[in-house]
Amino acid sequence: MSSALLTPTAPVARDALVGVDQPVPLLDGRFVPYVNLDNGASTPAFGSVVRAVERFLPFYSGVHRGTGYKSRLSTDTFERARELVGEFLGTDPERDVVVFTKNTTEAINKLARALPIERDAVVLTTMLEHHSNDLPWRSRVRTVHVGVCADGALDVDDLDRCLAEHAGHVALLAVSGASNVTGVVQPVHQLAEKVHAAGGRILVDAAQLAPHRAIDMRAHDDPGHLDFVVLSAHKMYAPYGTGVLVGPRCAFAQVPDHVGGGTVRAVTTESVAWADLPDREEAGSPNVIGAVALAAATRTLTEIGLDRIADHERQLTRYAIDRLTQVRGVNVYGPIDTVGLAAKVGVIPFTVDGLEHGMVAAVLGYEHGVGVRSGCFCAHPYIARLLDLDRSATLAWVDRVRHGDKRGAPGMVRISFGCYNDVRDVDRTVDALERIISGDIDGDYRADTDGTFRPVGYVEPALYSLDTP
């Protein structure tokens, strides 16, 4: 199929990212440029991010209490990074605090522990959440899951029902800005209005939203204001181990979830005077390099233009879905009509008739140099719903997995775009899928009990080794 006329080129040159088109080995001994369609897991780094880190490293030193020049400069840089991240999200610098964390998961766990919650309160989360925006709440408070529709979109009627049922007790709606499985984007400001009207707050898990759409938390007196936002830098072209939790200063408990160095003003053997935010919530030495990297990434994303990125990814997604749905035996999940696509980031889950998801993903990787992901994407309840698994099938599967055998577990294959992907990536992937479905598979693949398919007897060349100087 000719693709040249169908989609524009990516809004950012591929060589603006590190390692895109890197040649990788195939099972037959050839090398081909890597196609990375696993950006939902982690993106490659922007070159600008790497350069920002390299420019900073000669001055890097411990922050906050050092008195030397480098320490003072590092402290200023770290705090400036905090400001830049806050600006990227439209925070109120007076009322909100940007807390650096390791990633989204840590940020949500931190919030789940830091947020004062009444004993009879309820947290609403949804059936489409990543486990990281579900399990931390379950372990803290009564958690209710708002349903989803058959196409994977949030069931807003069910949300209204839950808000009415728990009126006066809803502490928080914890919802992902974009799903890591179907890419469905939530109308977060409308949801905020609903939950605010019910007396609660909203947390937006922006792990999958922030790399693809502009986020504006809006003024605190705006009914659509977002109270809390969390994200991960490694999904935003800055893989240096940082995430953030942003929220109103007044929402954090006086005693931090992690205690230790950096969290205090003074300590005696009998008492502790806790520090102000954000220090109180950033126990131990912070990841200054990660903060610099994230700030640099927010600048690059802004320079490229998140609207341009959204536009490009939308067209690429349309193109990919059009091609995928023409392949016999491929079943695409999530919204695929024009209206649904307008409210979705570039994440496409699919299954292939007669082939296990892990097998398809393995052959794409080993024989075609295409990186995708397969399985349940840390969203088991959502996958069960999309696949329409009944309760007994789900329980049987959970039981098998509990006993250590993940073979045959339900799941899907997922492709997820970054701003640099283009039609060539889609074409190579779909062409490869067509070959796989026609039976053109070279390797003899076996699944381990962890569910991973590998070609028997293949010893992969390691193109990078820590042991080689």
Ligand X SMILES: Cc1ncc(COP(=O)(O)O)c(C=O)c1O
Which residues bind to ligand X, rule: CB under 6 A?
A: 103-105, 130, 132-133, 176, 180, 205, 207-208, 232
Closer by beta carbon to ligand X, 233 or else 277: 233
Nearest distance from C-beta of residue 242 to ligand X, angstroms: 10
Count of Cβ atoms closer than 10 Å to residue 215 Cβ: 21
Nearest distance from C-beta of residue 107 to ligand X, angstroms: 8
Residue 17: φ, ψ to 5°: -115, 150
Nearest distance from C-beta of residue 195 to ligand X, angstroms: 19
Contact status, residue 271 vs residue 125, Cβ threshold 8 Å: no
Nearest distance from C-beta of residue 301 to ligand X, angstroms: 17
DSSP 368-436: H-EE-EEE-TT-HHHHHHHTT--HHHHHHHHHHHHTT--TT---EEEEE--TT--HHHHHHHHHHHHHH
Residue 314: φ, ψ to 5°: -65, -45
Helices and strands per DSSP (H, E), number in the chain: 13, 19
Q: In residues, how long is the chain?
A: 469
Count of Cβ atoms closer than 10 Å to residue 385 Cβ: 18
Nearest distance from C-beta of residue 378 to ligand X, angstroms: 6
- Tokens representing 232 are 């991960």
Closer by beta carbon to ligand X, 43 or else 91: 43
Alpha carbon distance 406, 452 (integer Å): 8
Alpha carbon distance 156, 163 (integer Å): 10
Alpha carbon distance 352, 344 (integer Å): 22
Nearest distance from C-beta of residue 264 to ligand X, angstroms: 27
Count of Cβ atoms closer than 10 Å to residue 282 Cβ: 21
Closer by beta carbon to ligand X, 48 or else 176: 176
Closer by beta carbon to ligand X, 235 or else 428: 235
N- to C-terminal Cα separation, the chain: 45
Which of 89, 68, 63, 88 has its CA nearest to residue 78? 63
Which residue carries 């809803």 as its tokens?
A: 170
DSSP3 helix / strand / coil % (the chain, rounded to 5): 35, 20, 45
172, containing H or E segment = strand 170-176
Residue 443: φ, ψ to 5°: -75, 165
Nearest distance from C-beta of residue 70 to ligand X, angstroms: 30
Closer by beta carbon to ligand X, 205 or else 367: 205
Alpha carbon distance 379, 383 (integer Å): 6
Closer by beta carbon to ligand X, 77 or else 180: 180
Which residue minimizes CB distance to ligand X?
A: 180
Nearest distance from C-beta of residue 176 to ligand X, angstroms: 4
Closer by beta carbon to ligand X, 110 or else 225: 110
Nearest distance from C-beta of residue 105 to ligand X, angstroms: 3
Contact status, residue 178 vs residue 212, Cβ threshold 8 Å: yes
Nearest distance from C-beta of residue 379 to ligand X, angstroms: 8
Closer by beta carbon to ligand X, 7 or else 180: 180
Closer by beta carbon to ligand X, 103 or else 263: 103
Nearest distance from C-beta of residue 137 to ligand X, angstroms: 13
Closer by beta carbon to ligand X, 50 or else 206: 206
Closer by beta carbon to ligand X, 48 or else 104: 104
Alpha carbon distance 198, 169 (integer Å): 8
**In Å, what is the CA distance from 252 to each residue of 35, 120, 125, 413?**
43, 19, 20, 39
Instruction: Kindly state the DSSP code that residue 446 receives in the 8-state scheme.
Output: E
Nearest distance from C-beta of residue 414 to ligand X, angstroms: 10
